[in-house]
């Protein structure tokens, strides 16, 4: 479990990092927290010729409210997001998801941007972004651009980040009073990737729930919205009948893996849907 | 976790004035290890040391047609690329059989595969380089041409005519078979009021040691000596095997263990890649290091527990058991592991099933078959978790069937505490067990009646909690009956050498080994108590065949009971020697003196007469002042081996309280209890932590751990993300209680405690899950590990 030989560069500016990417293209990998990358290198599942260490870049780790949005710098460590008052107040869904990400040692090193860029289909944060209708800021040779979470996750470990791009920030709408959130996941052991998980957001109105967004993870190649179930939960009183209808409307098509069969995953997704829907009905404190 | 029920020290002959027996003293190696100052084999660096990495077969079964090493040989840093046939020049193959396992057979195994790879992960080529990374670079450049062969993976069909024979010279795929028929089984079943019958399945798992297997071999051609730094449990056993297969004399081989980062039975076997490393050092005349990485560990460290047991129990209306019957089938990989064999686990299952109960009618069959998966062999609590889960699973199914409380049915069948000495239907001999006292203790400790009331109340709210039990017996302190009589050069005796240094401190050299379990603390306690010095005056040396008495090492819960007794006796012998010196200095009778707290005192009054440093000064530097003809002997060696009993059996009972989420199939462990009887308790904290650690490994087997293979023999989850070891968050509080029935075979009276937890925990959890789900009409779960998917299936939810 020793990596194949590689060269190492630690740029001091984003421009420098992007220039290095331009020069080495697919042969280079970006190193942030390294919690997934280093393991794949050691197992020789990946053998880049150059590692570009982003940890020397300044100012990419800030967490701040900017108007109606919360911005999280790509290099913000999980532990800092977990402990951030801004996140607790304005992005409570993310705050709820954080303790489920690996273990303290992993959260000390791992970065928020790294988790989004790696896009593990069973990871918590991509689903949270999707549930929150978040956006991803990408910086490339031609400058910055912003991509909605909805179109960012393209396939298994595949995103809208190009070979010469660096993910630089994540933005989510700041929580308003009438926003409601739910989060739950089932993993065999705390800190494992989920067998199935669900991140959800909605708005509470006098006519019931509106803008319901249910983002499942661990059931497909990317985090996945359950749109028919969202419709089933929109408007009106939510009782057992409605919940059962929402579960019946789930059209997930997971595949078997070593922890659970597709049938078990589908069943568990239904259980989570009911549990998370109840969370959406709770008053936020 | 809290220590609720620390046993108070037992007053006995062991209670010398400064006795440490029965006290939770810290381990002597604690500060060193916690400060990161330990030295593990992975830390060993020698001049000119090279590293070896292995090209491993991606196929479960394949013929090696060609190995092209040309590119690898030119890779930077590569020193040598060595294939199977070259190893045969320096090392002979081995066959894992023992004569007392009648009919056991296996095929010759070589350091690396010579013409065929027989499991995914078997080494087929060795690359030696300046660094491990360069060796791995070299491995990537070795081109191996394989002809894939059909893999035999399912034990159920391994003996079918249509199944290929893995080793044609053996004739079939049967490694070992044992049958036993005691009493009148058919008659007993016929006379039963009820019969329960089911099939238990146990997942394959492995030990996952904190420190992987590691070895540094250093052949010195000038001395004609092989020094092997080896993370092993049994250094003298390995000395013998390295010598034998390198055609050396034993005295030409020295094995040093250094610190060992956990073993759990994984590190008491011969591993082909470790043998290859030693052979490479001889071939290349330089030190060679091999440290298994985690991925290699999963496909090469021995696996265990992969058993299918069809089982049956007859019972009378009054709860009396009439007969047990089992049929065990296990697949052990392509080779019986050397030198302890892969027949022992099945053999233990035959021996132990039904063991806690008085039931003379017992029939058993066990078959051990070859297959193309990683090898299986002895891992912590060999066979016990299986025999216990089968027995206790049947017991609770029977209790449910006749409508009797599970503790009550045990009370009616457990061997009575005053029935000893006695034996089991399988022929085991028991000196003194305490099943009933342990059960009564557990009943009170867990407030059983209160828990049942709580369980009933919660069921009304749709919360399903379960209570499960497992009574158990555990094999400890093995005599020569375990391996010696079968022709293996694995010693069951152990020795200790104690010496007084020139300042009045002592050192003990012991043949047992420290794996992280605290054996060195126990040796220090025994010798300090027997001799009479404070613990900080004792230095413990283990794990060096050049310097410690010949011994067995650490396995089968033997270190405290056997090594501890040797240390106790050596400490006593040295005390007599030192008192003879004191007598001659003080003009007193040695029998009127004693040593307490490092000072020679008057035995009757405790008056201080002579500090040991002064005694040592006289003995070593002014022996001219001693009487003519008197020679001080300040070093003593004693050995000990159990003789009166083949094994010192221990016993106990465990209970599990858990909650099943019937929507998700997830099990939450709420609490676990264990009452065990390991005889004299030398160090209560170490005993309790052995029990807790053992319970956790058992819980791993019940709920999480399983080496998953596909039908082609590919391991699917050989990494720490997918192979689920139990983690602290999911573990319950574990309360430990004790009953103390010392063995009369030794003065110390200590039996082993290392495996009791692992033995009972899986069966206990199984019973608790089935207790929780019984009101829902779920079919009893008997297929470990109990994953959410299996529980949902039993509940009809998927």
Q: State how far the Cα of B752 lies from the Cα of B649, in Å rounded to an integer.
A: 8
- Residue B165 domain flag: no
Are residues B246 and B108 part of one domain? yes
Residue owning tokens 């939810």: B797
Domain extents for chain A?
Answer: 7-56, 63-173, 179-281
Residues of A with Cβ-Cβ distance to B704 under 8 angstroms: 188-189
Q: What is the DSSP letter of B798?
A: -
Q: Which of B595, B613, B640 is the last residue of a domain?
A: B640
Which of B353, B375, B344, B309 minimizes the C-alpha distance to B101? B344
CATH assignment, A63-173: 3.30.465.10
Residues of B with Cβ-Cβ distance to A188 under 8 angstroms: 704, 724, 787-788
Of B137, B730, B792, the CB nearest to A264: B792
B140 with A4: Cβ contact below 8 A: yes
Residue in A closest to B76 by C-alpha: A5
Mean pLDDT within A24-50: 94
- Residue B487 domain flag: no
Q: State how far the Cα of B200 lies from the Cα of B391, in Å rounded to an integer.
A: 10
Pair B301, B207: CB distance under 8 Å:
yes
Q: Which of B623, B640, B657 is the last residue of a domain?
A: B640
A186 with B788: Cβ contact below 8 A: yes
B489, with CB counted inside 10 A (0-12, 13-18, 19+), is: middle
Of B729, B788, B797, the CB nearest to A190: B729
- Please write the tens of the pLDDT for every residue from B724-779: 999 999 999 999 999 999 999 999 999 999 999 999 999 999 999 999 999 999 99
B481, with CB counted inside 10 A (0-12, 13-18, 19+), is: middle
Are residues B785 and B667 part of one domain? yes
Residues of B with Cβ-Cβ distance to A264 under 8 angstroms: 665, 788-789, 792, 798
Res A11 pLDDT > 60: yes
As given in the structure block, the two tokens for residue A59 are: 């100012």
Phi-psi bin for B213: left (phi > 0), alpha (psi -120 to 50), beta? Answer: beta
Taking a contact as any Cβ pair under 8 Å apart, which residues of chain B between 99 and 138 contact chain A?
131-133, 136-137
Q: What percent of chain B has pLDDT over 70?
A: 98
- Residue B192 domain flag: no
Are residues B687 and B674 part of one domain? yes
- Residue B368 domain flag: no
Res A37 pLDDT > 90: yes
Q: State how far the Cα of B780 lies from the Cα of B767, in Å rounded to an integer.
A: 9
Q: How many cross-chain Cβ pairs, A to B, lie less than 8 Å apart?
A: 62
B716 with A258: Cβ contact below 8 A: yes
**pLDDT score recorded for residue B13:** 61
Q: How far is B776 from chain A (nearest CA, A)?
A: 19
CATH assignment, A179-281: 3.30.390.50
**pLDDT score recorded for residue B12:** 59
By the CB < 8 Å criterion, does B789 face chain A?
yes
Residue in A closest to B54 by C-alpha: A1
A258 with B294: Cβ contact below 8 A: no
A5 with B140: Cβ contact below 8 A: no
Mean pLDDT within A218-227: 97
- Please write the tens of the pLDDT for every residue from B690-731: 999 999 999 999 999 999 999 999 999 999 999 999 999 999
A264 with B798: Cβ contact below 8 A: yes
B295 with A188: Cβ contact below 8 A: no
Residues of B with Cβ-Cβ distance to A1 under 8 angstroms: 293-295
Which of B474, B501, B484 minimizes the C-alpha distance to B753? B474
As given in the structure block, the two tokens for residue B719 are: 């990494």
Count up the domains in chain B and report the number. Answer: 3
**pLDDT score recorded for residue B28:** 87
Q: State how far the Cα of B551 lies from the Cα of B235, in Å rounded to an integer.
A: 8
Query: Which helix H or strand E contains B764, and what residues bound it?
Result: helix B756-773
CATH architecture of structural domain A7-56: 2-Layer Sandwich (3.30)
Are residues B458 and B583 part of one domain? no
By the CB < 8 Å criterion, does B591 face chain A?
no
Are residues B133 and B119 part of one domain? yes
Are residues B451 and B566 part of one domain? no
- Please write the tens of the pLDDT for every residue from B451-477: 999 999 999 999 999 999 999 999 999
Q: State how far the Cα of B428 lies from the Cα of B362, in Å rounded to an integer.
A: 13
- Residue B3 domain flag: no
Q: How high does pLDDT run on average in chain A?
A: 96
As given in the structure block, the two tokens for residue B472 are: 């158990």
B724 with A3: Cβ contact below 8 A: no
Q: Given the DSSP bridges, would you call strands B429-430 and B464-476 parallel, antiparallel or unpaired?
A: unpaired
Mean pLDDT within A32-48: 95
What's the ipTM? 0.96
**pLDDT score recorded for residue B574:** 98
Torsion of CA B776, B782, B788, B792, to 10 degrees: -40
Question: Helix or strand or coil: residue B468?
Answer: strand
- Residue B309 domain flag: no
B787 with A260: Cβ contact below 8 A: yes
Q: Which of B280, B300, B320 is the last residue of a domain?
A: B300
**pLDDT score recorded for residue B4:** 43
Instruction: Give the structural domain span for B225.
Output: 41-149+209-300
Other residues' Cβ atoms within 10 Å of the Cβ of residue B662? 18
By the CB < 8 Å criterion, does A3 face chain B?
yes
Regions of chain B where pLDDT drops below 70 = 1-13
Mean pLDDT within A103-109: 97
Are residues B525 and B510 part of one domain? yes
Q: What is the CATH number of the domain that holds B557?
A: 3.30.365.10
- Residue B203 domain flag: no
Are residues B576 and B470 part of one domain? no
Q: State how far the Cα of B132 lies from the Cα of A7, in Å rounded to an integer.
A: 18
Residues of A with Cβ-Cβ distance to B133 under 8 angstroms: 2-3, 5
Residue B21: φ, ψ to 5°: -70, 125
- Residue B135 domain flag: yes
Torsion of CA B562, B568, B574, B579, to 10 degrees: -160
Q: How high does pLDDT run on average in chain B?
A: 96
Which of B200, B199, B196 minimizes the C-alpha distance to B399? B196
């Amino acid at each position: 479990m020793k990596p194949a030989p590689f060269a190492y560069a630690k740029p001091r500016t984003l421009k420098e990092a992007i220039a290095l990417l331009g020069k080495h293209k697919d042969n280079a990998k970006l190193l942030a927290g390294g919690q997934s990358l280093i393991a794949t290198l050691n197992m020789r599942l990946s053998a880049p010729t150059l590692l570009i260490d982003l940890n020397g870049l300044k100012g990419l780790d800030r967490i701040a409210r900017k108007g109606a949005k919360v911005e999280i710098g790509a290099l913000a460590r999980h532990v800092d997001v977990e402990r951030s008052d801004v996140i607790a107040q304005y992005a409570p869904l993310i705050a709820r998801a954080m303790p489920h990400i690996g273990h303290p040692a992993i959260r000390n090193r791992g970065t928020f941007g790294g988790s989004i860029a790696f896009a593990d289909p069973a990871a918590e944060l991509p689903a949270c972004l999707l549930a929150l209708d978040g956006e991803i800021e990408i910086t490339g040779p031609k400058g910055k651009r912003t991509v909605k979470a909805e179109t960012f996750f393209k396939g298994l470990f595949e995103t809208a980040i190009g070979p010469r791009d660096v993910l630089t920030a994540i933005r989510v709408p700041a929580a308003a009073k009438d926003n409601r959130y739910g989060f739950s996941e089932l993993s065999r052991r705390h800190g494992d990737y989920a067998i199935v998980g669900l991140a959800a957001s909605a708005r509470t109105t006098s006519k019931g729930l509106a803008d319901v967004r249910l983002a499942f993870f661990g059931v497909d190649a990317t985090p996945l919205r359950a749109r028919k179930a969202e419709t089933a939960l929109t408007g009106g009183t939510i009782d057992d009948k409605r919940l059962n209808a929402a579960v019946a409307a789930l059209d997930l098509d997971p595949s078997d893996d070593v922890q659970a069969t597709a049938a078990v995953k589908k069943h568990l997704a239904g259980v989570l849907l009911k549990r998370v829907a109840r969370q959406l009905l709770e008053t936020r404190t | 976790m809290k220590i609720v029920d620390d046993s108070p020290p037992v007053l006995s002959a062991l209670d010398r004035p400064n006795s440490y027996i029965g006290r939770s003293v810290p381990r002597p190696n604690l500060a060193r290890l916690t400060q990161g100052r330990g030295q593990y084999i992975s830390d060993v660096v020698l001049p000119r040391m090279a590293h070896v990495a292995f090209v491993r077969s991606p196929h479960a079964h394949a013929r090696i047609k060609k190995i092209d090493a040309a590119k690898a040989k030119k890779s930077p840093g590569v020193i040598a690329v060595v294939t199977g046939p070259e190893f045969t020049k320096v090392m002979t193959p081995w066959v894992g059989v023992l004569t007392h396992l009648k009919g056991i057979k296996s095929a010759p195994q070589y350091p690396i595969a010579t013409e065929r790879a027989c499991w995914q992960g078997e080494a087929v080529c060795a690359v030696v380089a300046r660094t491990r990374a360069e060796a791995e670079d070299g491995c990537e450049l070795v081109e191996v041409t394989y002809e894939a062969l059909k893999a035999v993976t399912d034990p159920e069909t391994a003996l079918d005519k249509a199944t290929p024979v893995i080793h044609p010279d053996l004739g079939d795929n049967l490694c070992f078979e044992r049958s036993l028929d005691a009493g009148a089984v058919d008659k007993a079943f016929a006379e039963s009021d009820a019969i329960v019958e089911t099939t238990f399945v146990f997942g394959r798992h492995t030990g996952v040691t904190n420190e992987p297997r590691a070895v540094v071999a250093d052949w010195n051609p000038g001395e004609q000596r092989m020094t092997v730094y080896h993370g092993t449990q049994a250094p003298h056993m390995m000395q013998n095997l390295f010598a034998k297969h390198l055609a050396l004399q034993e005295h030409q081989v020295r094995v040093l263990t250094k610190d060992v980062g956990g073993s759990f039975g994984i590190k008491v076997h011969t591993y082909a890649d470790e043998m290859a490393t030693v052979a490479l050092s001889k071939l290349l005349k330089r030190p060679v290091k091999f440290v298994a990485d985690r991925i290699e560990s999963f496909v090469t460290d021995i696996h265990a527990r992969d058993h299918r047991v069809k089982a049956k129990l007859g019972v009378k209306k009054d709860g009396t058991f009439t007969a047990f019957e089992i049929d065990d089938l296990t697949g052990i990989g392509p080779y019986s592991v050397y030198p302890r064999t892969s027949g022992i686990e099945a053999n233990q299952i035959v021996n132990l099933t039904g063991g806690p109960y008085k039931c003379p009618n017992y029939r058993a069959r066990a078959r051990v078959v070859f297959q193309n998966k990683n090898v299986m062999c002895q891992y912590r609590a060999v066979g016990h978790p299986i025999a216990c889960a089968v027995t206790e699973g049947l017991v609770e199914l029977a209790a449910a069937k006749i409508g009797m409380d599970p503790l009550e049915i045990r009370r009616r069948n457990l061997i009575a505490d005053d029935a000893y000495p006695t034996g089991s239907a399988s022929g085991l001999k028991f000196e003194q067990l305490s099943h009933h006292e342990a059960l009564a203790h557990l009943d009170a400790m867990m407030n059983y009646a209160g828990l049942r009331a709580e369980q009933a109340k919660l069921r009304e709210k749709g919360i399903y909690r379960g209570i499960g039990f497992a009574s158990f017996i555990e094999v400890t302190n093995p005599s020569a009956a375990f391996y010696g009589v079968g022709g293996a050069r694995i010693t069951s005796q152990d020795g200790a050498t104690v010496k007084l240094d020139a300042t009045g401190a002592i050192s003990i050299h012991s043949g047992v080994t420290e794996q992280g379990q605290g054996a060195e603390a126990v040796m220090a306690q025994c010798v300090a108590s027997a001799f009479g010095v404070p613990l900080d005056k004792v230095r413990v040396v283990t794990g060096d065949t050049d310097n410690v008495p010949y011994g067995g090492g650490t396995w089968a819960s033997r270190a405290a009971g056997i090594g501890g007794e040797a240390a106790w006796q050596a400490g006593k012998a040295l005390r007599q020697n030192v008192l003879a010196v004191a007598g001659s200095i003080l003009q007193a009778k040695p029998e009127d003196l004693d040593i307490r707290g490092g000072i020679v005192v008057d035995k009757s009054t405790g008056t201080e007469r002579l500090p040991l440093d002064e005694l040592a000064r006289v003995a070593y530097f002014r022996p001219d002042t001693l009487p003519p003809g008197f020679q001080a002997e300040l070093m003593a060696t004693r050995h000990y081996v159990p003789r009166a009993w083949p094994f010192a059996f221990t016993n106990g009972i465990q209970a599990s309280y858990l909650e099943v989420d019937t929507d998700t199939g997830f099990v939450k462990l709420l609490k676990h209890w264990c009452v065990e009887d390991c005889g004299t308790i030398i160090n209560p904290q170490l005993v309790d932590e052995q029990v807790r650690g053992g319970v956790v490994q058992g819980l791993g087997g019940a709920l999480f751990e399983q080496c998953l293979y596909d039908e082609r023999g590919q391991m699917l989850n050989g990494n720490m993300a997918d192979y689920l070891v139990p983690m602290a968050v999911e573990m319950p509080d574990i309360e430990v209680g004790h009953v103390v029935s010392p063995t009369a075979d030794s003065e110390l009276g200590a039996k082993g405690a290392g495996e009791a937890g692992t033995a009972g925990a899986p069966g206990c959890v199984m019973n608790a899950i089935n207790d929780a789900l019984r009101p829902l009409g779920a079919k009893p779960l008997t297929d470990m590990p109990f994953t959410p998917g299996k529980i949902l299936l039993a509940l009809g939810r998927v």
